[in-house]
Amino acid sequence: MPQIAQIGEIYASQLFWLAIVFGAVFLVVGLGMVPKIQGAVDARDHRIAADLQEAATARETADRLEEDYRASMDRSRADAMRVAAEAKASATKATEARVAEADRAMSGRLEEASARIGQARLAAQAEIETVAADAAAAMVQRVAGLTVDPATAHAAVQGELVRG
């Protein structure tokens, strides 16, 4: 076969060109493209690491701010509750003072009213005694035809009122 007979002559030539092509590919890819790609990968890795570090710092800052905010809100709530309690206590004291003043005024009015009622009762009782004594004297005069002294009629009416 003639193809096999040519292998010796062509084989060295093919290996030579194979070495040249692989050398050119190595030079272009290995020395030209790989360092640029590796630089881009390294830059991307560095940027990702920096972004992750920045995100971690931002998260820590946000957590600290949230904690400060919650503490501030707790203090504000406590202050609001304290102010509300003070206002409630103040309002209670003011209300108690007004109620005590009203009680004093009402007790004074009640005592005055009780005194007036007592005086009115005594006046009414005296009036009733007088009217009863006059009526008793008039009845005795009509029924028995006798004239009764007003003092005697008054004493008789008082005696009956005491017995009930």
Q: What distance in Å separates the CA atoms of residue 125 and residue 162, rounded to the nearest whole number?
A: 12
Number of domains the chain is built from: 1
Residue 36 has a pLDDT of 93
User: For the residues of 24-49, what is the DSSP string, one character each?
Assistant: HHIIIIIIIIHHHHHHHHHHHHHHHH
Residue 141 has a pLDDT of 82
Which domain range does residue 38 map to?
2-163
Residue 142 has a pLDDT of 85
Helix axes 34-144, 150-163, angle to 10 degrees: 130
Choice between 11 and 64, residue whose per-residue pLDDT is larger: 64
Section 143-155 average pLDDT: 82
pLDDT tens, residue by residue, 78-111: 999 999 999 999 999 999 999 999 888 888 888 8
Q: What distance in Å separates the CA atoms of residue 134 and residue 141, rounded to the nearest whole number?
A: 11
Angle at 65 (CA atoms; ends 64, 66), nearest 5 degrees: 90
The DSSP symbol for 120 reads H
Residue 130 has a pLDDT of 86
Q: What distance in Å separates the CA atoms of residue 91 and residue 88, rounded to the nearest whole number?
A: 5
pLDDT tens, residue by residue, 112-145: 888 899 999 888 888 888 888 888 888 888 888 8
Q: What is the pTM of this model?
A: 0.43
Residue 1 has a pLDDT of 58
Q: What distance in Å separates the CA atoms of residue 145 and residue 132, rounded to the nearest whole number?
A: 18
